[in-house]
Amino acid sequence: MSTTSPRFLTTAVIVLLLINTGLVIYLVLDRNKSHRPYSRERMDTSALLAKEINLSPAQEKQHRELREAHFKNVGVYYDSIRQAKTALFTTTDVGNRDSLLTVSNQKINDWQSTINAMTVSYLQKVRNILTEEQQKGYDQFVIKMMQRGRRDSSRGR
């Protein structure tokens, strides 16, 4: 065997050791950055709507009132759904699980249907306060918001 092979292996080990040391230092220094709270605030949907379709101050006030009333009303149903799911998922030792599941699913489906109907009514009320030109932008805005999806819509944010 030649002497270049052990020299090559020694060099490779030293290079890998330096790379690993650098990586560990990078991870330790970057760790503090990754655990900071998310600082960029997401714009309020009402403000975003007002900006995108150019609401007048009176329209903006009407929209906020409609929005607050809507989320106050549907929040009750979201809370009921959450309670029903909690009760369902924490009673796994009950003997009659199938009937409990059927009853809970029916209640949740009924509440969700009510939420959907209330939401459509809210969207129609908001659309009615807009001009014809604003309505076109509003329709696109609603589609964009529905596709974006929210984790917890009962908070009204």
Show the low-confidence residues of the chain (pLDDT under 50): 157
The residues, any chain, with a CB within 8 Å of residue 9's CB and separated by 6 or more, are none
The residues, any chain, with a CB within 8 Å of residue 49's CB and separated by 6 or more, are 55, 63, 138, 141
At residue 42, the pLDDT reads 59
pTM value? 0.63
Domain spans, the chain:
1-35, 45-149
| Chosen CATH of 45-149 out of 3.30.565.10, 3.30.750.24, 1.20.120.1490, 3.40.50.11290 | 1.20.120.1490
Distance from CA of residue 146 to its chain's centroid? Answer: 11
At residue 157, the pLDDT reads 47
